[in-house]
């Protein structure tokens, strides 16, 4: 589990590459007292943005997507410098944003159009009912550091499409790429409906106090604080929080595929991914084969920042310390590290890929979010045991099940308490912009994406009811006789009872 330590920030900060210690850039922190002024500017600009309509905004988003495509290398270079990622990992973020934008520009006009709703009962057919999606003026987005590009914009794009202005508060550990993304927004000709507030807790709180909706991505512990703060003004929140995602490998699985999935899903981005494979349960008959395949694949990996490597540095030494503690405590309690097992020598915040076996749920490596390049694997004797252990967690973000029998895997998936389950793959649901991505239990409230919902969630719904005819208008008002009102209610009750009477037979 991660939670940014409380930090006092001077006016300007120097951000260092965690792989090398070299300066990645400087950032000017926002004075929390300035946040109301920034939010007021956004609130003003949002009016014209909403008035452009979905079609007008789609054009602007399309131009921004083109800018992202044209500046991909520049963004990725800064991303690698800011985070110490490998190039193989860094190249995933910009295409993901372009894909999301492409989906929204195709669907936003329809998703945001007023919807006609049918009459709930025959006598209500005299009314024409429409539901309108009106944007919340300022959406505050508070982001973590693990995917500084993707996390900055994957929700912001839906909010901007919806017609909201966005006040983005990147993680204080990775503020640089957000500055470049904002520059691109303005350079591509978009209006000033996207702004940054740079800083830590105090700036976050000011963002919460000055926004009309909060989209928070981060640890569960901070999510609780965000919701408490937002409750003061009854500001709605959507919380995308931590996870401890299980993988279940059944005895009829393609073991080679499952092993490679576990290695990629567990170690991608040095394991610093909310939907990372954090623990694996393997059925006894294929356990040895699976462990052998995982160890073989891990031994092939190259750890290091930039080009030519599989995965890179952790964000800083506090994250290395969490991974190190989980491994040490597991080994002290009887687990075995088949690879890695202790901090890498040399400079940089690196932790070697560590495959742990002989683990159980008395160990934090199986119960707490590690957010590091570790892969604890546990042998189980039955599918029921695997499901019970997968659900034995305060988290419920996502999971994966491997079996050649897809129907059997689906039956297992539907017994797992999580917002998404991938069959014979990992992380794939994150690319399914048409489906919701949200956590159960302490992994969150609400969801991102979900087709039209990915934009509508940033709107308030306004219902407009228009009479289709003037005949009978005001029949329920006080200016009618009391007897007429009684008669009318009798007729309405009779009509409303028709279906229950039929169905109850
Ligand atoms: P974090 O909770 O420490 O910080 C997240 C953001 O909250 C940062 O911008 C931080 O400045 C801000 N913040 C810190 N204290 C705050 C407070 N008291 N009030 C308001 N804002 C505050 O998380 P992190 O370490 O940056 O990110 C890692 C966590 O994020 C992991 O738990 C990971 O699982 C989770 N995560 C979840 C998803 C998802 O989609 N579910 C995606 C990525 C990361």
Residue 7: per-residue pLDDT? 59
Phi, psi of 435 (to 5 degrees): -110, 150
pLDDT-derived band at 123 (thresholds 50, 70, 90) equals: confident
Percent of the chain at pLDDT > 90 equals 96
In whole angstroms, give the CA distance from residue 261 to residue 251.
Answer: 16
Nearest ligand 1 atom to the CA of 243 is 34
- Atom 23 (ligand 1) nearest CA: 218
Residue 4: per-residue pLDDT? 54
Nearest ligand 1 atom to the CA of 145 is 26
> What's the 460 CA to ligand 1 centre distance in angstroms?
26
pLDDT in tens, 378-411: 999 999 999 999 999 999 999 999 999 999 999 9
Pocket test of ligand 1: the residue of 143, 176, 214, 219 to mutate, having most ligand atoms within 8 Å of its CB, is 219
Question: What mean pLDDT value characterizes the chain?
Answer: 96
In whole angstroms, give the CA distance from residue 387 to residue 331.
Answer: 25
pLDDT at 459 over 70: yes
pLDDT at 3 over 60: no
Per the listing, tokens 């989980």 go with: 326
Domains and CATH numbers, the chain: 6-241+451-460 (3.40.605.10), 245-435 (3.40.309.10)
> What's the 220 CA to ligand 1 centre distance in angstroms?
8
pLDDT in tens, 169-185: 999 999 999 999 999 99
- Atom 8 (ligand 1) nearest CA: 171
Residue 198: per-residue pLDDT? 98
Higher pLDDT, 6 or 290: 290
pLDDT at 489 over 80: yes
Residue 156: per-residue pLDDT? 98
Residues with Cβ within 8 Å of 330's Cβ and at least 6 positions away in sequence, in order, are 337, 356, 359, 363, 364, 365, 366, 376
* Cβ 148 vs Cβ 171: under 8 Å: yes
> What's the 232 CA to ligand 1 centre distance in angstroms?
20
DSSP SS3 for 377: strand
Q: In whole angstroms, how far apart are CA 150 and each of 29, 114, 331, 412? A: 21, 30, 35, 31
Protein residues with CB under 6 Å of any ligand 1 atom:
1-4, 142-146, 151, 169, 171-172, 200-201, 204-205, 217-219, 222, 225-226, 240-243, 274, 369, 371, 397, 439, 444
Q: Give the active site residues.
A: 240, 274
pLDDT at 1 over 80: no
pLDDT at 161 over 70: yes
Nearest ligand 1 atom to the CA of 169 is 9
Per the listing, tokens 């009314």 go with: 127
């Amino acid at each position: 589990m991660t939670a940014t330590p409380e930090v006092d920030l001077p006016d300007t900060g120097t951000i260092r590459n965690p792989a090398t210690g070299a300066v990645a850039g400087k950032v000017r922190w926002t004075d929390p007292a300035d946040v109301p002024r920034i939010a007021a500017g956004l609130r003003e600009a949002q009016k014209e943005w909403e008035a452009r309509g979905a079609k007008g905004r789609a054009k602007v988003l399309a131009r921004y997507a083109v800018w992202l495509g044209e500046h991909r290398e520049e963004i990725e270079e800064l991303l690698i410098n800011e985070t110490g990622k490998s190039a193989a990992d860094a190249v995933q973020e910009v295409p993901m944003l372009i894909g999301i934008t492409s989906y929204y520009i195709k669907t936003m006009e329809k998703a945001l159009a007023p919807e006609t709703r049918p009459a709930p009962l025959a006598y209500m057919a005299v009314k024409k009912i429409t539901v309108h999606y009106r944007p919340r003026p300022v959406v505050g987005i508070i982001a973590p550091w693990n995917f500084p590009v993707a996390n900055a914009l994957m929700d912001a794009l839906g909010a901007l499409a919806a017609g909201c202005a966005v006040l983005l508060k990147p993680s204080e550990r990775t503020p640089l790429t957000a500055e470049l993304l904002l520059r691109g927004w303005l350079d591509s000709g978009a209006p000033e409906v996207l702004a940054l507030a740079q800083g830590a807790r105090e700036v976050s709180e000011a963002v919460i106090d000055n926004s009309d909706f909060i989209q928070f991505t981060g640890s569960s512990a901070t999510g609780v604080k965000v919701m408490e703060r937002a409750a003061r003004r009854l500001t709605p929140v959507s919380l995308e929080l931590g996870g401890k995602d299980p993988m279940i490998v059944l005895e009829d699985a393609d073991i080679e595929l499952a092993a490679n999935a576990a290695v990629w899903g567990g170690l991608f981005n040095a394991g610093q991914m909310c939907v990372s494979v954090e623990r694996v349960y393997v059925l006894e008959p294929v356990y040895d084969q699976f462990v052998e395949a995982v160890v073989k694949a891990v031994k092939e990996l190259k750890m290091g920042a930039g080009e030519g490597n599989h995965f890179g540095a952790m964000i800083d030494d506090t994250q290395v310390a969490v991974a190190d503690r989980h491994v040490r405590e597991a080994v002290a309690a009887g687990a075995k590290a088949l690879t890695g097992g202790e901090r890498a020598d040399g400079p940089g915040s690196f932790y070697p890929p560590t495959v742990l076996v002989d683990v159980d749920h008395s160990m934090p490596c199986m119960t707490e979010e590690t957010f590091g390049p570790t892969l604890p694997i546990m042998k189980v004797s039955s599918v029921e045991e695997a499901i019970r252990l997968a659900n034995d967690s305060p988290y419920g973000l996502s999971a994966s099940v491997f079996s050649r029998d897809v129907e059997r895997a689906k039956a297992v998936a539907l017994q797992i308490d999580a917002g998404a389950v991938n069959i014979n793959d990992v992380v794939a649901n994150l690319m399914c912009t048409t489906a919701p991505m949200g956590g159960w239990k302490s992994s969150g409230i609400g969801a991102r994406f979900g087709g039209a919902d990915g934009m509508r969630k940033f709107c308030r719904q306004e219902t407009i009811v228009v009479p289709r005819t003037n005949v009978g208008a005001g029949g329920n008002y006080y200016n009618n006789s009391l007897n007429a009102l009684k008669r009318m209610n009798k007729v309405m009750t009779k009509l409303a009872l028709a279906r229950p009477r039929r169905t109850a037979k």
